[in-house]
Structure 1
Amino acid sequence: MSEFSQGSAASVLLETPNLEAKSDYLVFGPDARLGPIPKKPVERQFRSFETVRDTAIDWLDDKLGSLRAVSVRGHIHRYLGEVRQDNFAFARRGNYLVLAVADGVGSAQASHLGSAVVSRLVVEDEALLNAIASAKTPGEVELRDISTTLRAIAAEHGLDESDVSTTLTLAIVFDKPVDSTSAETFVMLAQIGDSPAFKISAGEWIELRCPAAATSGSDLIDNSVEPLPGRHTASVWVEAFREGETLALVSDGVEDPVKSNSAYARALADLWRQTAPAPADLLKVLDATVKSFDDDRTIIGVRFGGRDS
């Protein structure tokens, strides 16, 4: 069975996790040079704006489904004494649940600040959320105010705007109308940068892409090129989910090993198969050693009611 799909299923070779590693941590494939446990505290490369925790965990049982969110510092950042640059946020609004993942650009010295600000701002800005929810899809929506705020924060701290660069992927999960007989839940997605969204269905990872952005010759922006605040135009589109399926917003620190290591992809997907995972179980698999993949890893998932097959 396929472990990863980008619009269609593609067979991959299955690997067996290396459970004989000399560690209490999961290891997929051969041992990596970098261990999962930090060897030194975080070095402050410039004055600290806030405390950045190694790991962030949150969860919610909503009428739409079960939400689980985990963000862990990458093994390379632990080794170098650097902060986690990924962030997530979520909120419940009147008739929808909103969730966001932001991945600070690795080369930007304060991108952790940018990702924290953007993820928090976007789930609290009801005017912006309403604009996204009412946007023509597939299409685009402007996030100029978010970019302006990022630039102002950078200037306030004597930084260049590129120092707070971050991606953003946002999902608005709509409540079903009271009189609805549909078996589907509809989700509006908005994306700037390359942090992907997936549907996990029957153990398969299906990458979700904006149809308009992927169309050859389109005037719409290629999301993979630039992050906020330099780019403020997001691609928007709608996806549908059935009971037992999971919406997962992730950083590329999760995307890359999911696409490259079938055992890791399977273990992570299996956590959502029968029910939403316990946060501690999600953390253990998310933070597993996968050789050559040492970036921050963040996932925020919503599993819609029912049991997966």
Structure 2
Amino acid sequence: MSLPRHLYRLLFWPLTLLERRPPASAAAQRRHQPQQPGPRARETTVTANPPVPAQPGGERRNGSPPELSQWNSPVVGDPIHRFEPRPPASVSYRPDMVVDGWETDDLIVRAASIRGYVHRYRGTPRQDDMAVSLHRASGAVVFAVADGVSSARHSHIGASAACRASVNAIVARLDEGTDRIDWQGLVEQAAWQVIAQARAVLGDDTDTETAEREFATTLVAGLVRPTADGPEASMIHVGDSSAWILRGDRYQCLLESKYAPGADIVSSATTALPRMPRVTPRAGLLSAGEVLLLGTDGFGDPLGDGAGEVGRHFADALRRPGDPLRFARDLDFSRENFDDDRTLIALWPRSPQPPRRP
């Protein structure tokens, strides 16, 4: 069924953006202007002494309180130099960050999507997006995270469309009372919505190749549902967004991948929507003391194998659920050379409650 173009604009926010070509990145500016570290729209207050690099767990070497960036977020290692963020050049509202947090009988949820420092400097929109929802009848928590491909001009719109379409597809299956999710059908629906958005923005004659060039996005989508054996997570991915299990201070990557545009072999790890690779779902039980993490590469790249400063920062920050705003501040950490958008959804299984006395 096709919809009139004006309905696409109502159903799939945000609308098209009026973008300008960004200047060189902050890191490039620092390389070419060593005497003026970091671009600034106007100067901010700088202390006389250089900042002390943060230590694992957010502690400074001299034992003083953790260093904070100008946005009151933690500094991990060498910070990104201070500058005043620019608003995204857009005709529609695209907030700097989105934060969410709530709990069910079985799970505690925290989620945030943060505009990267390079996009704050350039005045371009956050290309990441996320969606997380509770299916009340089944108790399942349904989620999606997406990372618009950097080279695609309207990829933030593609990311939003993919997240919403994926969550809607899973919820629709749960509404039918089935435990079987049509994962391949989910990918097709998400891809169709990305193409539909491209045609709404660029014109009805927009082909798939143009949609991919202008709206391409990665995707991780799935759900965690209660079972007699504990919460069970199931998910698929397209592109280089991923998922991890955090146990204590150790990370297990569940969806190892990296997006490779133009790859000869098209797989779920080397492509992005609206291409439709064959996907294979991953599923497993969550145990008490574990945290399921779903994130874009803005989180995954600085995390690496989890053995470094960033891994220790999050192992400490996610040891127990904090308030949602603190979760967002921890995700917005400042670390030189890591300035991409960051999106992260974290799910903690709730400790089983002892039976009530009769």
- Give the structure-1-normalised TM-score: 0.79
The answer (yes or no) to whether the contact 2:218–2:241 under 8 Å persists in 1 is: yes
- SS state at 1:235 partner: coil
Write the distance in 2 (CA, Å) between the matches of 1:100 and 1:192.
11
The answer (yes or no) to whether the contact 1:144–1:232 under 8 Å persists in 2 is: no
- SS state at 1:166 partner: coil
1:169 aligns with 2:220: yes
Write the distance in 2 (CA, Å) between the matches of 1:298 and 1:255.
10
Deviates more, 1:256-265 or 1:59-68: 256-265
Partner of 2:149: 105
Question: Percent of aligned positions with the same letter in both sequences?
Answer: 26
1:120 aligns with 2:164: yes
1:95-244 alignment runs, 5 A limit: 95=138, 96-125=140-169, 126-127=171-172, 134=180, 141-142=184-185, 143-158=187-202, 160-162=210-212, 163-176=214-227, 180=228, 182=229, 184-209=230-255, 222-244=267-289
- 1:71 alignment partner AA: S
Deviations 1:161-220 (A, max 9, x none): 0211111101211122xxx3x3x321111111110101111122211138xxxxxxxxx9
Size of the aligned set, in residue pairs, is: 270
- 1:69 alignment partner AA: A
Write the distance in 2 (CA, Å) between the matches of 1:109 and 1:88.
19
Greater share of strand residues, 1 or 2? 1
- SS state at 1:289 partner: coil
- SS state at 1:199 partner: strand
Deviates more, 1:88-97 or 1:120-129: 120-129
Unaligned runs of 5+ in 1: 1-13, 211-219
Deviates more, 1:254-263 or 1:21-30: 21-30
The answer (yes or no) to whether the contact 2:239–2:268 under 8 Å persists in 1 is: yes
1:246 aligns with 2:291: yes
Deviates more, 1:87-96 or 1:51-60: 87-96
1:298 aligns with 2:351: no
Write the distance in 1 (CA, Å) between the matches of 2:144 and 2:69.
36
Partner of 1:6: none
Shift of 1:127: 4.1
Write the distance in 2 (CA, Å) between the matches of 1:194 and 1:72.
18
Partner of 2:119: 77
- SS state at 1:42 partner: coil
Deviates more, 1:153-162 or 1:295-304: 153-162
Write the distance in 2 (CA, Å) between the matches of 1:188 and 1:221.
22
- Give the structure-2-normalised TM-score: 0.69
Larger Cα-atom Rg: 2
Write the distance in 2 (CA, Å) between the matches of 1:90 and 1:169.
12
Deviates more, 1:66-75 or 1:164-173: 164-173
Shift of 1:226: 0.9
Shift of 1:75: 0.2
Deviations 1:101-149 (A, max 9, x none): 011111111111011111112112234667995269xxx7242222122
The answer (yes or no) to whether the contact 2:267–2:277 under 8 Å persists in 1 is: no
1:57 aligns with 2:99: yes
Decide whether aligned partners of structure 1 residues 144 and 57 sit closer, same or farther in structure 2, where only a CA change above 3 A counts.
same
Unaligned runs of 5+ in 2: 1-53, 61-65, 257-264, 353-358
Shift of 1:276: 1.1
- 1:27 alignment partner AA: V
The answer (yes or no) to whether the contact 1:246–1:301 under 8 Å persists in 2 is: yes
Write the distance in 2 (CA, Å) between the matches of 1:131 and 1:15.
49
Partner of 1:262: 308
Shift of 1:22: 7.1
Partner of 1:7: none
Deviations 1:32-91 (A, max 9, x none): 34x3751x22224xxx3x311001001111122100001110000001001001111011
The answer (yes or no) to whether the contact 1:21–1:31 under 8 Å persists in 2 is: no
Partner of 1:4: none
1:3-82 alignment runs, 5 A limit: 16=56, 17=58, 19-20=66-67, 23=70, 24-33=72-81, 35=82, 37-38=84-85, 40-44=86-90, 48=91, 50-82=92-124
- 1:91 alignment partner AA: S
